Chain A
Amino acid sequence: MKRKHRRLIVVVVGMGLLGAATALALTAFKDNLVFFYSPSEIATKDIPEGRRVRVGGLVEEGSVTRLDDGLTVTFRITDLAEAIPVTYRGMLPDLFREGQGVVVEGRFDAAGRFTADEVLAKHDEKYMPPEVAEALKASGEWRGASE
Chain B
Amino acid sequence: MIPEIGHFALILALLVALVQGTVPMIGAARGDGAWMALARPASLAQLACVGIAFAALMYSFVVSDFSVALVAENSHSAKPMLYKVTGLWGNHEGSLLLWVLILALFGAAVALFGRNLPAPLKARVLSVQAWIAVGFLAFLLFTSNPFLRLDPAPFEGRSLNPLLQDPGLAFHPPFLYLGYVGFSIALSFAVAALIEGRVDAAWARWVRPWTLAAWLFLTLGIAMGSWWAYYELGWGGFWFWDPVENASFMPWLAGTALLHSAIVTEKRDTLKSWTILLAIIAFSLSLLGTFLVRSGVLTSVHAFATDPARGVFILLLLVIAVGGSLTLYGLRAPKLKSGGLFAPISREGGLVLNNLLLTVGCATVLIGTLYPLALDMFGAGKVSVGPPFFNRAFGPIILAAVAVAALGPMLPWKRADLAAVLARLKFALVAAVVAVVAVWLATGGASPLPALGMGLAAWLFAAALVELGGRLKLFRAPLADSWNRARNLPRSAYGTTIAHAALAIVVAGVIGSQAWQTEVIVLMRPGDTVDVAGYDFTLVGVSDVTGPNYTARRGRFTVTREGRPVTVMSPEKRFYPVQGMPTTEAAIHSTWIADLYAVIGEPAEGGGWSVRLYYNPLVPWIWFGAVMMALGGVVSLSDRRLRIGAPVRRRRRPAVAVPRTA
Contacts and interface: CB of A to CB of B under 8 A. Distances in A.
Instruction: Say whether A associates with B.
Output: yes
Interface of A: 1, 3, 6, 9-10, 13-14, 17-18, 20-21, 24-25, 27-29, 31-37, 54, 66, 68-71, 89-92, 94-95, 103, 105, 120, 122-127, 129-131, 147
B342 A95 contact: no
Contact of B523 (A54, A70, A105, A127): A70
B357 interface: yes
B583 to A, nearest CB: 6
Contacts of A34: 383-386
A35 B383 contact: yes
A127 B244 CA distance: 15
B463 interface: no
A69 B397 CA distance: 44
Contacts of A95: 581-582
Contacts of A29: 371, 385, 389, 393
Contacts of B161: 123-124
Contacts of A10: 344, 352
Given A35-B382, A124-B161, A17 B360 contact: yes
A18 B393 CA distance: 12
B464 to A, nearest CB: 24
Contacts of A36: 381-384
9 contacts: A6-B343, A24-B396, A29-B371, A70-B610, A92-B601, A123-B161, A124-B161, A124-B303, A129-B303
Contacts of B302: 123
Interface string B275-306: 00000000000000000000011010111110
B364 A24 contact: yes
Q: Is the interface of A mostly helix, strand, loop or mixed?
A: mixed
B306 to A, nearest CB: 8
Interface string B570-589: 00010000011111100000
B606 A70 contact: yes
Interface centre among B299, B302, B599 (most CB of A within 10 A): B299
B182 interface: no
A129 B299 contact: yes
A89 B342 contact: no
B303 A127 contact: yes
Pick the 7 closest A-B CB pairs, nearest first: A70-B604, A36-B382, A70-B523, A28-B392, A126-B305, A32-B389, A28-B393
Nearest to B525: A70
A91 B602 contact: yes
A147 to B, nearest CB: 7
B568 interface: no
Nearest to B242: A120
Contact of A123 (B163, B367, B599): B163
B363 interface: yes
B341 interface: yes
B601 A91 contact: yes
A103 B242 CA distance: 14
Contacts of A130: 296-297, 299
A31 B234 CA distance: 28
B586 to A, nearest CB: 11
B577 to A, nearest CB: 13
A125 B388 CA distance: 29
A20 B401 CA distance: 14
A130 B376 CA distance: 12
Given A14-B356, A28-B388, A31-B388, A70 B303 contact: no
Interface centre among A33, A92, A103 (most CB of B within 10 A): A33
B605 A66 contact: yes
A1 B342 CA distance: 10
A130 B384 CA distance: 13
A91 B388 CA distance: 22
A128 B259 CA distance: 39
B608 interface: yes
B612 interface: yes
Nearest to B575: A94
